[in-house]
Amino acid sequence: MNPTREQLAQQIIEAGRFLYGRGWSPATSSNYSTRLSASEALLTVSGKHKGELGPDDVLATDMQGRSLEPGKKPSAETLLHTQLYSWKPQIGAVLHTHSVNATVLSRLCLSDSLVFADYELQKAFSGVSTHESQVEVPIFDNDQDIARLAAKVQPWLEAHPDCVGYLIRGHGLYTWGARMSDALRQIEAFEFLFECELKVRALHKA
């Protein structure tokens, strides 16, 4: 049976508690969503403390990112969520976080993408079954104009159907999954890999 709206809202609330607790969603940053149907998503209201979300702190939007609940302001980054639901019908949850490691690594890395290779934990990503693979994570320059940013992300998604997440430079991470648990697993995998990558780079410098 499909989860109800209340259950999906609860998944978002619990994700917020977990991600805030890990330090990956500080200071009201981040936004989370789940798919409600083929044409609607359930998203966090803009500006909320992500460790203290309640049932009123989510709202339904259409796939163009328009609020379906007058009086509630959707996340500033709503279009980056709905774009992913439109890209792949099997995506059921999208998470955006602002960890220190995602922020630092995306600023250190001056190229357009970061490649993870030969890490066993790559297998935590959907569709990856061996460490003998390369997981390419594009890095888009930050932009306060989210429609313009989404327009830069779109061709990458179309050209890379296996993409499991992307970074926005100096800003944070987007990743997704069929269910909230899949998106959370991928956030954890990314954070592990970001930390490894930063440690390897620091040791190489020493």
Ligand X SMILES: CSCCC(=O)C(=O)COP(=O)(O)O
Phi, psi at residue 173, to the nearest 5°?
-115, 140
**In the chain, where do the E strands start and end?**
31-35, 40-44, 58-62, 93-97, 113-117, 134-140, 165-168, 172-177
Q: Which is nearer to Zn ion, 42 or 122 (CB)?
A: 42
Q: Which of 19, 53, 61, 77 binds ligand X (CB under 6 A)?
A: 77
Angle of CA points 15, 19, 38, to nearest 5°:
40
CA-nearest of 101, 104, 175 to 138 is 175
Q: Which is nearer to ligand X, 78 or 186 (CB)?
A: 78
Binds 46: which of Zn ion, ligand X, none (CB < 5-8 Å by kind): ligand X
Binds 75: which of Zn ion, ligand X, none (CB < 5-8 Å by kind): ligand X
Q: Token pair of 34, please?
A: 């789940």
Residues found near Zn ion in the complex (CB under 5 A): 172
Is 98 known as a binding-site position?
Answer: yes
Q: Is 108 in the site for ligand X (CB under 6 A)?
A: no
Judged by CB under 6 A, how many residues of this single chain contact ligand X?
Answer: 12
> What is d(CA 28, CA 65) in angstroms, rounded to the nearest whole number?
20
As annotated, the binding site for Zn(2+) includes 96, 98
As annotated, the binding site includes 96, 98
Binding site for ligand X (CB under 6 A): 27-31, 44, 46-47, 75-77, 96
